[in-house]
Chain A
Amino acid sequence: MNNMIVLPMAIPVLAGILFIFFRNNIYLQRWISLFVMVANIGIVAYLLNRVQTEGVLRLDFGGWEPPFGILFVADSFSLILVMTTSIVAAICLLYSFSSIGKARENMFFYSFVNFLVAGVNGSFLTGDLFNLYVCFEIMLLASYVLIALGGKKAQLRESIKYVIINVLSSWFFLVAIAFLYGSVGTLNMAHISERISESGQTPLLTVISIVFLTVFALKAGLLLYFWLPGSYSVAPTAVAALFGGLLTKVGIYAMFRVFTLFFYHEPSITHTFIGVLAALTLIGGSIGAVAYKDIRLIVTYNVVIAVGFILVGLAVATPEAMEGSIYYLIHDMIVKSLLFLLAGTMITVTGTTKIDEMSGLIRNYPLMGWMFFIVMLSLAGIPPLSGFIGKVLVGEGAVNAGSYILLALAFLSSIFVLYSLLRVFLQCFWGETIISTEDEVPVKKGWMIPCAILTIATIGIGLGAESLYLYVSDAANTLLNPQIYIDAVLYE
């Protein structure tokens, strides 16, 4: 019995429900939610090792056999992502303990964080297309609340935009599912894949695949990222870090699933399309990252660049590029949350978001400054750190596939990332110290410890890439050979 597979989604849901009863017991809520995330890390680590020996695991809900019932499927790719999600969520919770404030904590903040994580984990684990939609909605509903919680003017304005764009894209998602169900007559992902390969990917199915691409591009911020910088910059720091680390990654995951499992028969159309979108995203994100002087906007445009970069790997679709994308996805989830946390802390201590109003912070906050430096190097892909291996593998894949334009854009975007963050570093941390020792806002331990853990994690992933390789290569292998997934779901 693989009942354990449901736990990464079921435990956060249960915790989120229980917190409503203990509304006023904040300490209990804090430590239980932290415990939930840590327990998830343990469960997923166990499952991940089981997948290496036993192959793809599945859990049929209610005992109904696959094409007929809904199910959770755990392969290396989804488990790696669930693991990273749990780590990021645990760190963001740790940061929110000392930063989110009592008013929000009393308004069910921890419940919604748990529901958000449940939605994200469910989206990663599900093996049914409609279930993916439902998990997306769980995640989005929780994120609507988290973005609006606090009720400031800017939050309300941006949350309206965010809700409208997501309602629209969810509607497109439903329509796409309806089209696909009408064409192939099933919702089970493995079964859809099999039906499509039996009938061949007809032009109609290719059109449906483009509708799916539109949906996930809206969710992930692939070219259609116009809503992203605004919404991500109004939320409180811990929430913004959660969003930056998790939300767009679910869209990316769905795109990987859909275009490696269902629509892989016409890469000359679909994957070229993804390639073009990724290229435009890299260009747009790079322009955005260097154009602004608001640190929150610089950071959010860096999220956009990373989305483009990861999807270069999908567009190229060679084994190396897939592995590179998976490495980069893990790296990006961790480092983007760290970047958001550091940027948020900088805004808290200086009281401004403009980088030309900050200066000389390194004298007041040396630890923060050097952590920012490490993040910058890691995002740019400097060798000992975690961004390096992903970039190299994606680059290798692009060279092997002969996509030199994508290769050039991907690596040029690294320079833009480096430039945009170096500008922040030079402008804010170096130069004349503007905050005198008396006016210093004391940095709480609760702000620096989570950042330090993530910094250690990015160094650790960079140095320990070899030990992760076993899982990453298995994940890439399953993605590139859909038959493994289909066999595990339908024929075991």
Chain B
Amino acid sequence: MDFSSTVASQLHAGAILPEGIVIVTIMAVLIGDLIFGRSSSRWLPYLAMFGLFNTLVALFFQWSNPNAIAFLGSFNGDNLSIVFRGIVALSALVTILMSIHYIQQSGTSLAEFIAIMLTAVLGGMFLCGANELTMVFISLEMLSISSYLMTGYMKRDPRSNEAALKYLLIGAASSAIFLYGMSLLYGLSAGETNLNIIAAKITAINGVQSLGLAISLVFIIAGISFKISAVPFHQWTPDVYEGSPTPVVAFLSVGSKAAGFALAIRLLTTAFGSLTEQWHFIFTALAILSMVLGNVVALAQTSIKRMLAYSSIAQAGFVMIGLIAGTDNGYSSMIFYLFIYLFMNLGAFSCIILFSLRTGTDQISEYAGLYQKDPLLTLCLSICLLSLGGIPPMAGFFGKIYLFWAGWQAGLYGLVLLGLITSVISIYYYIRVVKMMVVKEPQEMSESVKNYPKINWKLPGMRPLQAGIVASAIITSLAGILSNPLFTLSANSVATTPILQSTVITQEIPQNIIHVSSIEDSKSEVN
């Protein structure tokens, strides 16, 4: 009886080594906090960052893992998941850099915050590779519940409380809808939970299209679009972004969103491979609404956090173009854009954090005349915002070009044109902030800038923030020009991912069948 060892060898537990490192780090952070108390906050964030760095290294060595399917098919460690897990981990790494001073200044415990953040990362990373319904839901909930906690972390601030409540109610409801969709899927496929098997079984049992399948698809999309804040499911975004602690917003806008997109790709291409046309249609509608509403409503915002909330809705609309294109280029442009988006958005949020730490406000009008008092902040925020607007030669321009090019190749002319038009609208509101900072004369300076404190980088937690800002500004300005490695990475991850390649092949099969049958027809005619 060597039963246990065969099972153990089939588990391929090595595939979740990166997540294992995250778990160990969480434990270390929590226990360190218990043993050493408040004094531990001097080194705990660095420990967490070290853990996340090791996670990234472990992910690097997982590339093209031959034993990608782990835990009896419930976790898929393919290259697609590696890329998305990398984005999630990297976004947490940068978020911790910028949260050290912010959380400490608020008088709350830093270690608890980091532990919750790492739990969210863990959930997000598992979500990127989850290949089984239960696993999908558990990791989704892990991400969501930690996000609710982080949103309401400033428990003395009524706005943070309100945001947490709002996020919790909408999030729990959307999870329930998502769960209902998954339970339908389980029933329709006669009791399968593995995504790959579901696809085969469903078409065998129900035929290609059935009402049950359609309902299940819609319910699942409702859950996914909540995470990526696509338009009819976006209402939480502006309020939550405004109320929550800014580092949390930064993580939600990148890490949580990337996990949502990873889930969308995996779930929709495998389980709903037979309904491609339908979900393409739904996502086209979502993309149109997100691009238009996100960009137009952002014009009218006075708070920069709210403006970035609407901008992140709009950016999700741009990324959806890649998803709808459904080609190799489409998926890889999504990955490329999300990578770049990570640095642009986190850079912008870091600058906002720095500004609000020094002045205590995040109204756009209060940025007037900042260039005189803080040129570094002005430069970095301008670079990140212009990159978000897609101005060359910043990284965002190349990301958008690639998305639009992939969309154009797939024949989505209308979507691409809408994307181009809404990018012009977006330039207007991004440049409004740049105008406030750069163009205003010294005598037009706002009150908070007049009383701007002397810049002191020596305060605890300020150096990491500075490092985060400078690094993201440099990466944002150079990642476009030197984007070849990143292009290769995203293209490779798509090209070497079996699930995506199989969907491309299944799309081509019908043509082959027609071709073969026509040959047979001609043969029979000859006979």
The answer on A and B forming one complex is no
